Amino acid sequence: MVRPTMEDVAARAGVSRALVSLVMNNSPKVSDARRAAVLRAAEELGYQPHVMARSLASRTSTVLGVMVNDLRNAFFADIVEELDTAAQAAGFDLILNTGGRSPTREWNALHNLLSFRPAGIILLSPVVPASAIQVAARQCPVVLVSRTVRSSTVDTVNDDGEAGSALAVDHLVGLGHRRIAHLDGGGAAGAAQRRRGFEAAMRRHGLDPIVVRSEHTDIGGEKAVRELLAAYSRAELPTGLVAGNDFNAVGAISALEEAGLRVPEDVSVVGYDNTSLAALRHLSLTTVDQPRKDMARLAFEALIERVRGERTEPVRHLLHPSLVVRATTSETGGA
């Protein structure tokens, strides 16, 4: 388990350590003969530069810290995959962490990332207080995804939740729906914007926004629908539902079907996030798509710009979501 060092390669190639270093970094000022000799020696010994030693000596880092709110959430998993692709292409390595959705654990996780003196950090929907983010931002560039913060040293990438909800409302209104309810995501990331967008869009159409408190889970969706069923007569029941996210929508659909209501014939349902779940033919859920790939790419680019010192002004990316129409929405009174 003992690996060769640069010194070993130098000895075998009959050159100095410095020359090996130059070769390893593709310096142009090395003669072809020496370069070949060094490369061969390295090959024979199975030598590979030690990233940490390199980082220490060069006072630069190729490490990017990533803290994920919850990897189990496919949304974040997608983003991380995308980040990894971008990082590999640019020669960076990801070190990954989760904070278990607890501020305290996230704070520790953030500290761990920081202790690597990473080139930069990306936080995916963090729950730590803004002050903690500030602390991190003083040590290296920080980019936030699905979370905003007022700080001139931190870049943010978010989808426009208000616009997303508006998309859903417009779609339903366009199909003739007038009584539309929103299943609010409570304290979940982005839930507040989605609700605001819903209410604003409804008013814009001269309609009365109905909001039911829920959660971003399928169980939450079921409960919310049961409440609606209890609160409204069949004739007055909302014919359109804008769920907080896809899971929530699935729960809502279950409860509706359980109550003998058909989707979309009796009630249309729109989800949010366009998770792989929504795409399943079995569900075929109409939903709002957050451009995850773009979000990841923009977050990465913003970070790299800061890392390279190409920019000091903060950027606030607000991406436009789009509606993916599938089979859970139709005109009022049936398809």
- Residue 267: name its binding partner from its own copies, DNA, none (Cβ under 5 to 8 Å by kind): none
In the complex, the smallest distance separating the C-beta of residue 49 from DNA, rounded to whole angstroms, is 4
Q: Does residue 293 bind DNA (CB under 7 A)?
A: no
Q: Does residue 50 bind DNA (CB under 7 A)?
A: yes
- How many residues of this chain bind DNA (CB under 7 A)? 28
CA distances from 58 to 26, 61, 214 (A): 15, 8, 52
Among the listed residues 1, 26, 46, 59, the single contact to DNA using CB under 7 A:
59
Residues 71, 97: Cα–Cα separation, whole Å: 9
Stretch that binds DNA, among 19-27, 218-226, 234-242, 293-301 (CB under 7 A): 19-27
Joined tokens for residue 3: 């690996």
Q: Does residue 131 bind its own copies (CB under 8 A)?
A: no
Among the listed residues 185, 190, 240, 251, the single contact to its own copies using CB under 8 A:
251
Q: Does residue 150 bind DNA (CB under 7 A)?
A: no
DSSP assignments along 157-206, one per residue: EEE-HHHHHHHHHHHHHHTT---EEEEE-TTSTTHHHHHHHHHHHHHHTT
Among the listed residues 36, 44, 58, 174, the single contact to DNA using CB under 7 A:
58
Contacts of 209 (CB under 8 A, 6+ apart): 180, 182, 198, 199, 202, 203
CA distances from 34 to 6, 30, 41, 44, 48 (A): 15, 7, 11, 15, 18
Among the listed residues 12, 22, 298, 300, the single contact to DNA using CB under 7 A:
22
Residues 110, 149: Cα–Cα separation, whole Å: 16
3-state secondary structure of 67: strand
To 10 degrees, what angle do helices 103-114 and 130-137 make? 0
In the complex, the smallest distance separating the C-beta of residue 255 from its own copies, rounded to whole angstroms, is 8
Among the listed residues 1, 11, 12, 19, the single contact to DNA using CB under 7 A:
19
3-state secondary structure of 257: helix
Q: Does residue 77 bind its own copies (CB under 8 A)?
A: yes
Contacts of 85 (CB under 8 A, 6+ apart): none
Nearer CB in complex with its own copies: 34/226: 226
Contact status, residue 306 vs residue 120, Cβ threshold 8 Å: yes
Among the listed residues 36, 40, 44, 53, the single contact to DNA using CB under 7 A:
53
- Residue 58: name its binding partner from DNA, its own copies, none (Cβ under 5 to 8 Å by kind): DNA
| Residues forming a β-bridge with 92 | none
* Binding site residues, its own copies, CB under 8 A: 1, 3, 46, 48-53, 55-56, 63, 66, 70-72, 74, 77-78, 80-81, 84-85, 88, 93-98, 100, 105, 108-109, 111-112, 114-117, 135, 138-140, 218-219, 222, 247, 250-251, 253-254, 257, 276-277, 280-283
